[in-house]
């Protein structure tokens, strides 16, 4: 929640239109024989006054000596100090707004372009009129004035605020907004009576409505370009702004996602998105290539040159669809092995892309039955390809990838795998198992952000897939040509920021220690989760030997899922509904930037919910 509002002085809380300094600068420059306009005098407003003097000097055609600048400043200072008390009228709504904020426990801070000597004259005048902020600092009392954030930092220190997002900077110039942004505070630009508007009350009064709107819009444009979070006409709008910021702070409070993706991601991964890149840029293309190469190395390190990773814009399903669509020929018969929603999704894809296929369906709470598959392969010789999901995220059941791949290969079949939720968490050596293609995405165990998926496959298969796609956008061959032959160039707009995040996520994966470390963390998360939940009497549906260490389905028993969800969300945990139809269940993922201690906290929150609701939990008993 917002704890402090830091106001500027002239033009924001006192001196409507910010006129006090103008005559001073005009006199100052006149004293060295230079005439400046009001507009020039006003342009750098908000800076420390000595910096303001230098900024005006920089606008002149002829360079000034340091001596001349100091002389101009001296006269400016004398003029201002002589007149400043006439320019201390507080602006509209200042004392009411400050009082209202104080009543809500919000501290009122302030920063200024005036020197402390000038402020010594302004402060008592403002106090007389009912406005005394809790703190005021001038540029000469710290290292540098605006746009440096130091004066704001002094305010934060004074109020004991460690997170600058709990403070709002309010001002009437570009320099104010820059100062607030540099301090990482929320920023608010005030239009009426601002230096940017540069009009007295009388001047405003004689403007037509249209003319005033035009002038106000020009001020708005300056604040907007500077990056202001809010732009208001007058300070009476500030309480609503703060209410809105508080709402946003609550909304953006960190949640831990205990779901199968998108996942809780590291800050570094999210921050990596802050750079804008162009799809065509060579540097960006090199990053794209490095991402594809790193993914290929994770899957097929020993046979790197034989495999390629083709990135696709879109969620994981796009990769699964592109894989089935392009790597299966028209004459191929595909056998899908289905024991959950994601397996069923492959059937839909095959149906829509008019592939020749059959499927074997299995109990959703059990792995694919190898014997039944072998029986089928023995009987139906015309099957060319088998396709299945490695970990059925529907339930958390882990399918026997190695055995299935070996079986398929012993019958000379191709193998396509949806390894969405296991890639980078399970050891899947594609060359060793001779897996033909594998689909996964950025936002599962690589712990990147959603928006990119990929197919890793043998280059040989890709090379033969030209012209096979029924879809232009999901044409894996075309995409491969763009990305490989064209040095990392996406055919169509790429999610540049998401790709940068994926680059960072892969770096984090390596930093953690690659597969062994990530796998160990997930296994430990899973072990702790199961152990702790068992203490509450909450049991997993899937037998331990068939259970992945990625996501687990638990019996919901007498709980109401939406109530449990809401209670846990309040504590910052997001859980997942179950997908089994026979019994009520819920799911918990333990992948992402989460740790065993988080599992303990989660289960403790579930325990609190159970106690609060007085639920009979011993489901099995």
Ligand X SMILES: *Cc1c(COP(=O)(O)O)cnc(C)c1O
From the number of C-beta atoms within 10 Å of its C-beta (0-12, 13-18, 19+), residue 401 rates as buried
Nearer to ligand X, 258 or 320 (CB): 320
Q: In what order do the strands lie in the sheet with 230-232?
A: 107-110, 4-7, 167-171, 186-190, 230-232
Q: How far is the CB of 446 from ligand X (least distance, A)?
A: 12
Question: Which of 410, 359, 362 is CA-nearest to residue 387?
Answer: 359
Q: Which residue number has the CB closest to ligand X? A: 316
* DSSP 8-state secondary structure symbol assigned to residue 137: B
Nearer to ligand X, 149 or 396 (CB): 396
Q: Is 49 annotated as catalytic?
A: yes
Nearer to ligand X, 167 or 263 (CB): 263
Active-site entry in 43, 49, 91, 413: 49
Nearer to ligand X, 158 or 579 (CB): 579
Nearer to ligand X, 147 or 260 (CB): 260
Nearer to ligand X, 164 or 451 (CB): 451
Q: How far is the CB of 389 from ligand X (least distance, A)?
A: 5
Instruction: Judge whether 109 and 4 are in contact, CB under 8 Å.
Output: yes
Residue located via tokens 């060359």: 431
For 188-220, the DSSP string reads EEE-TT-TTT---HHHHHHS-HHHHHHHHHHHH
b/e 245-258 (16+ beta carbons within 10 angstroms → b): beeeeeeeeeebbb
Nearer to ligand X, 164 or 578 (CB): 578
* Token reading at 577: 């509904």
Nearer to ligand X, 519 or 571 (CB): 519
Q: How far is the CB of 309 from ligand X (least distance, A)?
A: 17
596: preceding bond cis by omega (within 30 degrees):
no
Q: How far is the CB of 233 from ligand X (least distance, A)?
A: 45
Bridge partners (DSSP) listed for residue 457: 308, 437
Helix (H, G, I), strand (E, B) or coil at 601: helix
Helix (H, G, I), strand (E, B) or coil at 280: coil
Q: How far is the CB of 235 from ligand X (least distance, A)?
A: 47
Could you tell me how far CA 237 lies from the centroid of its own chain?
Answer: 29
Instruction: Give phi and psi for 584, each to the nearest 5.
Output: -70, 130
Nearer to ligand X, 56 or 386 (CB): 386
What's the half-sphere exposure (Cβ side, CA atoms, 13 Å) at 104? 18
Q: How far is the CB of 392 from ligand X (least distance, A)?
A: 6
Q: How far is the CB of 393 from ligand X (least distance, A)?
A: 3
d(CA 594, CA 526): 11
Instruction: Judge whether 261 and 421 are in contact, CB under 8 Å.
Output: yes
Element (H, E) at 433: helix 430-433
d(CA 102, CA 99): 5
Could you tell me how far CA 246 lies from the centroid of its own chain?
Answer: 19
Question: SS3 sequence, 549-586?
Answer: CCEEEEECCCCCHHHHHHHHHHCCEECEECCCCCCCEE
Q: How far is the CB of 418 from ligand X (least distance, A)?
A: 5
Question: Which of 184, 180, 8, 12 is CA-nearest to residue 90?
Answer: 12
Q: Could you tell me the sign of the dihedral formed by the alpha carbons of 492, 493, 496, 497, in that order?
A: negative
Q: How far is the CB of 395 from ligand X (least distance, A)?
A: 11
For 295-343, the DSSP string reads HHHHHHGGGGGGEEEEEEES-HHHHHHHHHHHHS-TT-EEEEEESSHHH
Q: How far is the CB of 440 from ligand X (least distance, A)?
A: 9
Nearer to ligand X, 187 or 441 (CB): 441
Instruction: Judge whether 415 and 385 are in contact, CB under 8 Å.
Output: yes
Footprint on this chain of ligand X (rule: CB under 6 A)? 260-261, 315-317, 320, 342, 389, 393, 418, 420-421, 441
Q: Which residues are catalytic?
A: 8, 49
């Amino acid at each position: 929640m917002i704890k402090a509002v830091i106001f500027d002085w002239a033009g924001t809380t006192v001196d409507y239109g910010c006129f006090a300094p103008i005559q001073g600068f005009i006199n100052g420059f006149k004293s060295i024989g230079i005439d400046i306009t009001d507009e020039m005098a006003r342009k750098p407003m908000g800076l420390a006054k000595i910096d303001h003097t230098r900024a005006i000097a920089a606008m002149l055609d002829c360079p000034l000596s340091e001596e001349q600048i100091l002389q101009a400043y001296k006269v400016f200072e004398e003029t201002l100090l002589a007149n400043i008390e006439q320019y201390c009228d507080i602006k509209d709504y200042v004392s009411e707004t400050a009082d209202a904020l104080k009543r809500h426990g919000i501290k009122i801070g302030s920063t200024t372009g005036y020197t402390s000597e000038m402020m010594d004259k302004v402060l008592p005048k403002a106090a007389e009129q009912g406005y005394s902020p809790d703190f005021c600092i001038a540029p000469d009392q710290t290292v540098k004035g605006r746009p440096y954030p130091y004066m704001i930092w002094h305010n934060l220190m004074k109020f004991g605020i460690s997170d600058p997002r709990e403070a709002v900077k309010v001002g009437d110039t570009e320099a104010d907004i820059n100062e607030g942004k540099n301090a990482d505070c929320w920023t608010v630009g005030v239009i009426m009576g601002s230096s940017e508007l540069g009009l007295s009350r009388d001047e405003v009064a004689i403007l037509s409505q249209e003319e005033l709107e035009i002038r106000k819009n020009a001020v708005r444009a300056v604040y907007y370009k500077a990056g202001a979070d809010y732009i208001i006409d007058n300070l009476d709008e500030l309480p609503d702004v703060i209410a809105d910021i508080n709402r946003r702070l609550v909304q953006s409070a960190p949640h831990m996602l205990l779901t199968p993706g998108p996942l809780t991601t590291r800050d570094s991964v999210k921050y990596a998105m802050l750079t804008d890149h162009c799809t065509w840029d060579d540097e960006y293309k090199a990053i794209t290539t490095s991402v594809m190469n790193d993914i290929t190395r994770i899957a097929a390190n020993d046979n790197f040159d034989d495999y390629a990773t083709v990135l696709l814009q879109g969620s994981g399903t796009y990769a699964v669809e592109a894989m089935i669509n392009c790597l299966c020929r028209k004459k191929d018969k595909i056998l899908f092995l289905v024991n959950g929603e994601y397996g069923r999704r492959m059937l839909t894809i095959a149906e829509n892309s008019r592939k020749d296929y059959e499927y074997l369906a299995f109990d959703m709470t059990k792995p694919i039955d190898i014997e039944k598959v072998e029986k089928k392969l023995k009987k139906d010789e015309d099957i060319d390809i088998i396709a299945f999901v490695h970990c059925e995220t529907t339930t958390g059941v882990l399918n026997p990838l190695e055995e299935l791949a070996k079986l398929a290969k012993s019958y000379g079949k191709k193998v396509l795998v949806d390894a969405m939720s296991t890639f980078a968490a399970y050891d899947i050596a594609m060359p060793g198992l001779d897996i033909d293609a594998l689909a996964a995405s950025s936002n599962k165990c690589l712990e990147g952000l959603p928006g990119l998926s990929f197919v890793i496959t043998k280059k040989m298969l890709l090379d033969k897939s030209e012209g096979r796609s029924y879809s232009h956008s999901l044409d894996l061959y075309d995409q491969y040509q763009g990305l490989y032959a064209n040095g990392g160039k996406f055919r169509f707009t790429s999610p540049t920021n998401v790709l940068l995040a994926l680059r960072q996520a892969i770096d984090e994966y390596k930093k953690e220690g690659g597969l062994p470390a990530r796998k160990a963390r997930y296994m430990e998360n899973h072990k702790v989760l199961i152990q702790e939940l068992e203490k509450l009497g909450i049991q997993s549906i899937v037998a331990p030997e068939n259970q992945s260490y990625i996501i687990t389905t638990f019996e919901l028993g007498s709980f109401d899922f939406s109530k449990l969800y809401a209670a846990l969300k309040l504590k910052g945990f997001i859980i997942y509904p179950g997908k089994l139809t026979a019994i009520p269940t819920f799911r918990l993922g333990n992948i992402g930037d989460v740790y065993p201690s988080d599992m303990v906290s989660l289960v403790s929150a579930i325990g609190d919910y159970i106690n609060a609701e007085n639920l009979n939990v011993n489901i099995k008993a």
